[in-house]
Structure 1
Amino acid sequence: MIPQSFIEELLKRIDIVEVVGRYVPLKKAGANYSACCPFHKEKTPSFTVSPSKQFYHCFGCGAHGTAIGFLMEYQGIGFPEAVAQLAQSVGLTVPRDVRGERPEAGRDRFAAMRAALAQALHYYRQQLKASSRAIDYLKRRGLSGEIAARFGIGYAPDHWQNLAAVFPDYAASPVLAEAGLVIDHETGRRYDRFRDRIMFPILDVRGDVIGFGGRVLGQGEPKYLNSPETPLFQKGQELYGLAQARRAIREAGRVLVVEGYMDVVALAQHGVEYAVATLGTATTPHQVQRLLRLAERIVFCFDGDAAGRLAAWRALENSLPALTDGATLSFLFLPEGEDPDSFIRAHGRQAFEAQLAQALPLSQFLFRELTTRNDIQSEEGRARLLQEARPLIEQVQAPALAMLLRKRLAELVGLAPAELTALLSAPLKRAGDLASPAPRFAPRVRRAPSRNRQLLRLLLARPALGRGVVWQADTAEDGEGAVVGEVLAYLAAHPHVETGAQLLEAFRDTEAGRLMEEVAAEALLLDDGFDLEREFADALARIEEAARRRRIEGLLALERTQGLTPEQKQLLLRELAATRRA
Structure 2
Amino acid sequence: MAITPQWKDELRARITLSTVIMRTDKLVKKGREWTACCPFHDEKTPSFYVNDQKQFYHCFGCGAHGDVISWMTEQRGLSFIDAIKELAAEAGMEVPAPDPIAAKRAEKRAELVDVTTEAQDWFVHTLRSAEGREALTYLKDRGLKPETLREFGFGYAPESKQALKAALSRFDEQMLVESGMRIKTDDGKTYDRFRERVMLPIQDARGRVIAFGGRILGKRANGYGGVAKYLNSPDTPLFDKGRTLYNLHRAAPASRQSGRIVVVEGYMDVVALAQAGFTDAVAPLGTALTEMQLEMLWRMVEVPILCFDGDAAGQKAAMRAVTRALPMLAPMRSLSIVRLPSGMDPDDLINDQGPGAMEKLLSEPSSLLDTLWNFEREAKPLSSPEAKAGLKARLMEHVDSIEDQDIRALYRRELLDRFSAFAYPPREPRNNQGTPFQRGSWNGQKSAPRSLSQGTRDILNRAMQGGQRATLLSSVIAGLVRHPGEIARHAEALSRLANLDPKAAPAIESLIELSETLDSHTTNAISDVQGYPAPPEDQRYAFLREGTSPGEAREELAEAVSLLAQKPALEAAMAATIARFDDDPEGSFAEQARLRQQLTTVDERLKAFGRRKAGSPATQD
Specify if TM > 0.5. yes
Q: Aligned pair 1:21/2:22, yes or no?
A: yes
The answer to whether the aligner puts 1:234 opposite 2:240 as a matched pair is yes
Give CA deviations for 1:530-551 in whole Å, capped at 9, x if unaligned: xxxxxxxxxxxxxxxxxxxxxx
Q: Distance in 2 between matches of 1:292 and 1:192?
A: 37
Match runs of 1:344-363 below 5 Å = 344-363=350-369
Q: How far off its partner does 1:33 sit?
A: 7.3
- Is contact 2:18–2:52 with CA below 8 Å preserved after alignment? yes
Mean alpha-carbon deviation: is it higher for 260-269 or for 176-185? Answer: 176-185
Cα distance in 2 for residues equivalent to 1:20 and 1:192: 49
Contact preservation (8 Å) 1:125, 1:154: yes
Cα distance change, pair 106–241 in 1 and its aligned pair in 2 (3 A): closer
**Aligned equivalent of 2:263:** 257
The 5 Å alignment of 1:317-396 reads 317-373=323-379, 378-396=384-402
Query: Are 1:40 and 1:61, in contact at CA under 8 Å, matched by a contact in 2?
Result: no
Q: Give 1:75 deviation, angstroms.
A: 6.5
8 Å contact from structure 2 (residues 158, 196) kept in 1: yes
Aligned to 1:281: 287
**Map 1:47-86 → 2, pairs under 5 A:** 73-74=74-75
Asked if 1:188 corresponds to 2:194, the answer is: no
- Tell me whether 1:272 sits opposite 2:278 in the alignment: yes
Mapped partners of 1:161, 1:66: distance in 2: 50
Structure 2 match to 1:147: 148
Give the superposition deviation at 1:276. 0.8
Structure 1: tracts of 5 or more residues without a match: 1-10, 91-101, 425-521, 526-582
Aligned position for 1:159: 160
Percent same amino acid at aligned positions?
38
Q: Deviations over 1:73-111 (max 9, x none)?
A: 5477x879x99xx89x99xxxxxxxxxxx9934422222
Which residue of 2 is the match for residue 138 of structure 1? 139
Q: Secondary structure of 1:332's partner?
A: strand
Maintained 8 Å contact 2:32/2:51: no
Checking the alignment, whether the CA contact within 8 Å between 1:79 and 1:206 is kept in structure 2 is: no
The alpha-carbon deviation at position 249 of structure 1 amounts to: 1.3
Q: CA contact under 8 A between 1:79 and 1:207: conserved in structure 2?
A: no
Query: Would the aligned equivalents of 1:248 and 1:274 in 2 still touch at CA under 8 Å?
Result: yes
How many matched pairs? 403
Which residue pairs with 1:533 in the alignment? none
User: Are 1:409 and 2:481 matched, yes or no?
Assistant: no
Are 2:27 and 2:36, in contact at CA under 8 Å, matched by a contact in 1? yes
Kept in 2: contact 1:374–1:384 (CA 8 A):
no
Counterpart for residue 312 of structure 1:
318
| 8 Å CA contact 1:75, 1:247 repeated in 2 | no
Deviations 1:336-387 (A, max 9, x none): 2211012212322112111223432211111112222356665423332232
Following the alignment from structure 2 to structure 1, what is the Cα–Cα distance between the partners of residues 238 and 110?
10
Q: Who is 2:122 aligned against?
A: 123
Q: Could you say if the C-alpha distance between residues 14 and 116 of structure 1 is closer, same or farther in structure 2, counting changes exceeding 3 Å? A: farther
Question: Residue 260 of structure 1 contacts residue 277 of structure 1 at CA under 8 Å; is this kept in 2?
Answer: yes
Q: Distance in 2 between matches of 1:398 and 1:271?
A: 37
Matched residues in 2 for 1:205 and 1:70: separation? Answer: 17
Per-residue deviation, 1:307:
1.1
Residue of structure 2 in register with 1:248 after alignment: 254
**Structure 2: distance between partners of 1:197 and 1:228:** 16
Matched residues in 1 for 2:260 and 2:375: separation?
24
In structure 2, give the amino acid aligned to 1:385. L
Tell me how far 1:35 sits from its aligned partner.
Answer: 6.0
Amino acid at match of 1:146: E
Q: Is the 8 A contact 1:285 1:321 kept in 2?
A: no
Q: Quote the offset at 1:399 in angstroms.
A: 5.3
- Whichever residue aligns with residue 309 of structure 1, its letter is Q
CA separation of 1:103 and 1:376: change in aligned 2, threshold 3 A: closer
Cα distance in structure 2, aligned partners of 1:400 and 1:367: 19
Query: Residue 335 of structure 2 aligns to a residue in which SS?
Result: strand
Partners of 1:40 and 1:398 in 2: CA distance: 19
Partner SS, residue 375 of structure 2: helix
Distance in 2 between residues matched to 1:29 and 1:124, nearest whole Å? 58
Task: Give the Å deviation of 1:183.
Answer: 0.6
Structure 1 CA distance for aligned equivalents of residues 331 and 586 of structure 2: 26
Partner of 1:99: none
> Given that residues 201 and 212 in structure 2 are in contact (C-alpha distance below 8 angstroms), is that contact kept between their aligned partners in structure 1?
yes
Contact 1:16/1:51 (<8 A) preserved: no
The one-letter code matched in structure 1 to 2:393 is: Q
Per the TM alignment, residue 117 of structure 1 is displaced from its structure 2 partner at its CA by: 1.7
| 1:440-469 deviation per Cα after TM superposition (whole angstroms, max 9, x unaligned) | xxxxxxxxxxxxxxxxxxxxxxxxxxxxxx
Q: Aligned letter for 1:394?
A: D
1:145 deviation in Å? 2.4
Shift of 1:204: 1.5
Q: Rg larger in 1 or in 2?
A: 2
2:16–2:52 contact (8 Å) kept in structure 1:
no
Instruction: Kindly provide the CA deviation profile for residues 179-219 of structure 1, in whole angstroms up to 9, marking residues without a partner as x.
Output: 21111012211111111222222221122122111111222
1:227 Cα offset (Å):
1.0
CA offset digits 1:248-281 (Å, max 9, x no partner): 2122111111111111011111101111111111
1:163 partner amino acid: L
User: Aligned partners of 1:207, 1:271: CA distance in 2, in Å?
Assistant: 20
What is the CA distance between 1:245 and its match in structure 2? 0.8
Q: In the alignment, is the contact (CA less than 8 A) between 2:138 and 2:217 conserved in 1?
A: yes
Specify the code of the residue in structure 1 equivalent to 2:138: Y
The answer as to whether partners of 2:63 and 2:331 remain within 8 angstroms in 1 is no
**1:225, distance to aligned residue in structure 2 (A):** 0.6
Cα contact 2:135–2:217 (8 A) shared by 1: yes
Code of the aligned partner of 2:150: A
Report the 3-state secondary structure (helix = DSSP H, G, I; strand = E; otherwise coil) of the residue aligned with 1:293: helix
Tell which deviates more after alignment, 257-266 or 22-31: 22-31
CA displacement, residues 21-60 of structure 1 (integer Å, 9 cap, x when unaligned): 222234689999776652346878677687999x989897
User: 1:237 and 1:252 mapped to 2: Cα distance?
Assistant: 24
Query: Are the structure 2 counterparts of residues 233 and 33 from structure 1 closer, same or farther at C-alpha, using a change threshold of 3 Å?
Result: farther
User: Residue in 2 aligned with 1:179?
Assistant: 179
1-side partners of 2:152 and 2:66: how far apart?
Answer: 28
Q: How many Å separate the matches in 2 of 1:181 and 1:423? A: 61
Structure 1 residues 394-433: aligned runs within 5 Å: 394-398=400-404, 401-411=407-417, 412-413=419-420, 416-420=488-492
Amino acid at match of 2:178: E
After superposition, give the CA deviation of every residue in 1:294-319 in whole Å (9 maximum; x if it has no partner).
Answer: 12332222222211111111111112
Query: What SS class does the counterpart of residue 242 from structure 2 fall into?
Result: coil
The aligned residue for residue 213 of structure 1 is 213
CA offset at residue 285 of structure 1?
2.6
| Separation in structure 2 between the aligned mates of residue 164 and residue 368 of structure 1, nearest angstrom | 52
Residue in 1 aligned with 2:304? 298
Match of 2:107 in 1: 108
How far apart, in 2, do the equivalents of 1:47 and 1:122 lie? 48
User: Does 1 or 2 have the higher relative contact order (CA < 8 Å, sep 6+)?
Assistant: 1
* Contact 1:158–1:195 (Cα < 8 Å) also in 2: yes
Cα distance in 1, alignment partners of residues 26 and 358 from structure 2: 38
CA distance, structure 1, for counterparts of residue 112 and residue 67 of structure 2: 24
Partners of 1:124 and 1:47 lie apart in 2 by 50
Partner deviation per Cα, 1:312-343 (whole Å, 9 max, x = no partner): 11111112123233345222222222110122
The alpha-carbon distance between structure 1 residues 393 and 190, as it changes in their structure 2 partners (threshold 3 A), is same
**Partner amino acid, structure 1, of 2:300:** L
- Superposed CA deviations along residues 486-512 of structure 1, whole A, max 9, x for unmatched, are xxxxxxxxxxxxxxxxxxxxxxxxxxx
